[in-house]
């Protein structure tokens, strides 16, 4: 029998009124058991100019974060170019292809979802989400952008994650949020 993968998370990013915020819950599960409730799934790269959130297997995500940092260095900190190169490698490399994780990368100008299927997506709505509670958080963030535009991007991320945590059993209320203004 294989060891159960650590998974279950929600990461959401919002760009609103000149501010970009990205946040994640802190829960990791093994099967149907909470393994840890205060994991940090948000990492600053490039001296804090790029922030990345991850969902999926923790070891897999850290491997991808290392590769993403290498790509950023190789491409002059150009986030979109680095993301495209990472996605190409991820899809074609025999070792990377087995990694089970997803990333959201943000800087002041861009918001990207990076997946192992070769996708680098820049959402039209300035809202991105990944993980088990992603659709709950994304729906909440889109509604907040539409009907509560007085909120900051950080407040929208926080509220979206709390809503997801109220619904998704793999998401908790221990939040980690980073803001780029």
State how far the Cα of 45 lies from the Cα of 66, in Å rounded to an integer.
10
Structural tokens at position 137: 């958080």
State how far the Cα of 135 lies from the Cα of 132, in Å rounded to an integer.
8
- Which entry of 9, 10, 29, 171 is annotated as an active-site residue? 9
State how far the Cα of 110 lies from the Cα of 27, in Å rounded to an integer.
27
Residue 9 is a catalytic residue: yes
85 φ, ψ (degrees, to nearest 5): -65, -40
State how far the Cα of 88 lies from the Cα of 116, in Å rounded to an integer.
9
Q: Name residue 180's beta-bridge partners.
A: 20
Question: Could you give the residue ranges of the DSSP H alpha helices within 75-132?
Answer: 79-92
Question: Could you give the residue ranges of the DSSP H alpha helices within 5-127?
Answer: 58-74, 79-92
Q: Is 8 left (phi over 0), alpha (psi -120 to 50) or beta?
A: left
List active site positions.
Answer: 9
């Amino acid at each position: 029998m294989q060891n159960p993968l650590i998974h279950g998370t929600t990461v959401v990013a919002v760009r609103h009124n000149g501010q970009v915020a990205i946040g994640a819950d802190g829960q990791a599960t093994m099967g149907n058991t909470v393994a840890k409730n205060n994991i940090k799934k948000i990492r600053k790269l490039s001296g804090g100019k790029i922030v990345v959130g991850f969902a999926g297997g923790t070891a897999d995500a850290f491997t991808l974060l290392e590769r993403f940092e290498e790509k950023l260095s190789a491409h002059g900190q150009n986030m979109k170019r680095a993301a495209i190169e990472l996605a190409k490698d991820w899809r074609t490399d025999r070792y990377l292809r087995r990694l089970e994780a997803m990333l959201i990368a943000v800087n002041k100008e861009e918001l990207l979802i990076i997946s192992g299927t070769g996708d680098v997506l820049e959402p039209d709505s300035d809202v991105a989400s990944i993980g088990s509670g992603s659709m709950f958080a994304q729906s909440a963030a889109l509604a907040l952008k539409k009907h509560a535009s007085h909120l900051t991007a950080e407040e929208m991320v926080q509220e979206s994650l709390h809503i997801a945590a109220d619904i998704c059993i793999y998401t908790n209320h221990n939040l980690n949020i980073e803001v780029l203004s």
